[in-house]
Amino acid sequence: MVPNDCFKRVLATGVHPILKPLGFAKRGQNFFLNAHGNWGVVNFQRSTSPTKDRIRFTVNLDIASSRLLRFAGDWAGRRGPRLRRSPPSASACSCC
């Protein structure tokens, strides 16, 4: 199996079935959770240089609390958290 196909399969059959019952919504390589004004994001970032038989990836975790953001004076949670270094189509959570 080609590494990129294997990566997609791991997300679809390994990660998604675990996170979905916990309330996470999937969009591309991102899983989003919105609960009581708090956001959680699990992002799977593929390496930019896979080989023919190997792929490396990083798991990025992001959390945000609307209450803490308001307290800090940096309230930007109207559309949810924004992922850094992500493609524009997946940069903001508009799935919830």
Q: In this predicted model, what pLDDT tens digit does every residue of 49-95 receive, in sequence order?
A: 878 888 888 999 999 888 877 766 654 555 555 544 443 333 333 33
pLDDT confidence of residue 92: 37
Contact call for residues 19 and 42 (beta carbons, < 8 A): yes
Distance from C-alpha of 61 to C-alpha of 75, rounded to nearest angstrom: 20
Distance CA 21, CA 83 (A): 23
- The answer on pLDDT for 13 being more than 50 is yes
